[in-house]
A and B are shown apart, each in its own frame.
Chain A
Amino acid sequence: MAEPVLTIHGVTKHFGAVKALTDVNFTLERGDVHALCGENGAGKSTLMNIIAGVLQPTSGEIRVDGAPVRIASPAVAQSLGIGLVHQEIALCPDATVAENMFMAATNRRRSPFMNYRALERDAQAVMNRLAAIDVRRKVADLPISSQQLVEIAKALTLDCRVLILDEPTAALTETEAQQLFSIIRDLKANGISIIYISHRMAEIFSLCDRVTVFRDGRYVCTDRIADVTPDDVVRRMVGREITQLYPDKRDASAPAGKTILSVEGLSDATRFHDVDFELREGEILGIGGLIGSGRTEIAEGICGLRPRTAGSVSLHGVPQKIQSYSDAVKAGIVYLSEDRKGSGVFLEMSIAQNVSVLELKALTNGAGLLKRRAETALAEDFARKLAVRMSGVEAPVKSLSGGNQQKVAIAKQLAVKPKVILMDEPTRGIDVGAKTEIHRLLRELAQAGIGIIVISSEMPELLGLSDRVLVVREGRIAGELGADAMSEEAVIRLASGLGNEQAAHHAA
């Protein structure tokens, strides 16, 4: 048998005291499509960044075509024929599609002048294989799914032998994803080897030849796809039964609690339409759907962060006038953004100053001055209840780990004694331990009578945490899944518009 195109042997990567990868192995055979699976934080992206020259391993060996190599930079990776399509879009928004696609080639060019006509012609030829996108358009003017396609087209121009696709379908529609799959099969037929990172079992099982599983920064196993089932892969990813990972759910046979929040006919005329649902006491309501389906926009619409054109929001049966986010906070509805660093916490400011931000009025005396002792006490109180690991409440939030930053963000919401908390991706980018703590905390809050709505792209989280799941598709609620009907497949069917008999349930 021919030499594998890429071999990873015993690679370890430390970030300070944190071990992101411990002694991992990975072998990519020529012309294979090889799936890499693992939960967030399992070390997949770290390994891909090492292969692509973005990060350097602490120890271990990388071989390309059997020869040991040191991939010191992305440029070295490119010269070895390795192309990486990042999960996050990293394009120059003000440049055209063509300019973005040939950025690396332009960088290598000897000629002092650009040949735009050739550039555009070549770019269009590559792009036509993928989608009908005019390469002369500016990237910023394209929707996210098209930008994702530009990223993939960019990698295709590199003339690579190894292509790494990190969750390429996360932002794509079903049709676009199907087009991508046929291209992947073409590439494979041309002898290009592909590492395919995805959470979507259906894609992996229809597309890939082999699957490797990582867990907590360690290599678990590699199998031929034909020899395993999706359940096997999921079990190995999680390493334990899913039920143990998540706190016990609400007893499904118990009578439903009182309605806390009811949303009727909510619409903003562009991103979401006719959204109806109820949130009952004691339950955690999950909202699933593909990225870009309008999940976040619905949450923003409920909280007054996005103008709406129709519909009503009631708390305990009383209609609320919510025009701005301040109105929502006053009414007792708080929202935790998916973008923690971008719009959740104030990184340079202290933990105490973060926790108090929604509660400023209550912490202000008659003269307009802050009651600093009360502010400190508030923060210390929540830091203790949420077990925030810190040197003190005066420490800046940026000194905390991601999980503890998220706890501070949650403490900020709890400080106003909310009736309903909407959490968008509550554990994104958080390590497994802190994740479990946050899940347990959410369950405790639900048991204490606070309405919890969790939006999540992580299927295990959505299914493991929620008592009931609403699936959003193209801005509408495509269906509702109760405890008995909840499964990864059911969510995906609803999210991708394949329909589901359960959809009828939604009428309730």
Chain B
Amino acid sequence: MAIDTMTAPSPRTSSFKRVGTMREAGLIAIILALSIAMTFASPHFLTLGNFRAMLMSFSVDGIVVVGMTILLIVGGIDLAVGSVVCFAMVLSGSLFLAGLDPWSASLIGIFASAAIGGAMGFFVTVVGLNHFITSLAAMVIVRGLCLIITKGTPLSLFTLPASFKQVGQGTFYGVPYVILIFVAVVVLFDFLLRRATAFRKVFYTGSNEKAALYSGIKTNQVKFWVTVLCSTLAGVAGVIYMSRFGAATPTFGVGMELNIIAAAVIGGASLNGGSGTILGAILGIALLSLVTSSLILLNVSVYWQDMIKGCILLAAVSIDHFLHKRKAV
């Protein structure tokens, strides 16, 4: 047998994972169906203004979802993203108030967020704690840091220069910068996750850590850097929120992590690691955002909204579980 000869490349086969594609197509179908129904139910739904508002509402969170999805693929989870978003916001804001220019302040905020990810990564890979417990502790600690930095009161940042406010509030040929940044992040990481060797190792590690280790992949390094990436993207979201709101509140982003994780899971990411796509996760957060905005347009009481969103999460995961079980004979 000739082990060392390679044949010529064969015709390219589709590298889409069938299950993944099915899931994404299903989400698109649900989103379209809901949109069509809403078009009839509310005259305000099918307007450019409403669409822009919806897109704006999940764009920044969408950046966090990207990081969370990659972390879920490696088999981790980060409950601290809401706190880290807030931390980047209040740290950058207070540095600006202390006299630093807003761009440098933001950069420091993002690096500090990355450092929090690094600290979590340390506890996960070196100390050997799991992601859930580590990030649960980080969630509380970082929220505490936000309160310490702000002494518990919101920072008013109306003195931010117009050039910086542009990021969160301005538009480019009518398209908000926020949406452009969001799309850029999504396209970049979707591409990397499908094509880059470094990100392939994320799948190997999440799918079967021991097998990955036995294949010479330094799984601890992979887990460390993915944890850092997730926090870094949360930091980016934090400074965008600062620019958009012109304020920094120490209680911002409380409970955000659950929405983010729900979106990634609806989009097909598994809490057991090894699977998930950026596109799916973005469709997941788009669906959640569409439901929220629909409920508002339909004048459904805000008290009902969380319950309905929770039911959607449960339904999405149950349907998926059912489909997988049937497939497995």
On A, residues with C-beta under 8 Å from B are: 16, 305, 324-326, 329, 335, 337, 339, 342-350, 353, 357-358, 360-361, 363-364, 368-370, 372-374, 376-378, 380-381, 385, 392-394, 396, 398, 412, 414, 417, 441, 444-445, 448, 450
Contact = CB atoms under 8 A, between A and B. Distances in A.
B6 interface: yes
B12 A370 contact: no
B9 to A, nearest CB: 4
A372 B6 contact: no
A345 B10 contact: no
B37 to A, nearest CB: 35
Interface SS of chain B: loop
Contact of A348 (B12, B14, B15, B274): B274
Contact of A326 (B9, B195, B216): B216
A385 B207 CA distance: 26
A348 B215 contact: no
Contacts of B10: 376-377, 380
B216 A381 contact: no
A380 B6 CA distance: 10
B9 A373 contact: yes
A376 B198 contact: no
Interface string B258-283: 00000000000000001100000000
B8 interface: yes
B299 interface: no
A361 B198 CA distance: 10
Contact of B275 (A348, A357, A369, A444): A348
B14 A378 contact: no
Nearest to B195: A369
A448 B207 contact: no
Given A325-B215, A342-B210, A381-B6, 18 more contacts: A329-B216, A337-B214, A343-B211, A344-B214, A346-B203, A346-B212, A349-B274, A350-B15, A360-B200, A368-B197, A370-B195, A370-B196, A370-B200, A376-B10, A376-B15, A377-B8, A378-B6, A448-B3
A324 B215 CA distance: 11
B12 A373 contact: yes
Given A326-B216, A346-B204, A368 B196 contact: yes
A346 B219 CA distance: 14
Given A444-B1, A445-B3, A376 B9 contact: yes
Contacts of B210: 339, 342-343
Given A345-B208, A347-B208, A374 B214 contact: no
Most buried by B among A339, A361, A374, A376: A376
B214 A385 contact: no
Nearest to B208: A346
Nearest to A412: B215
Nearest to B215: A357
Contacts of A368: 196-198
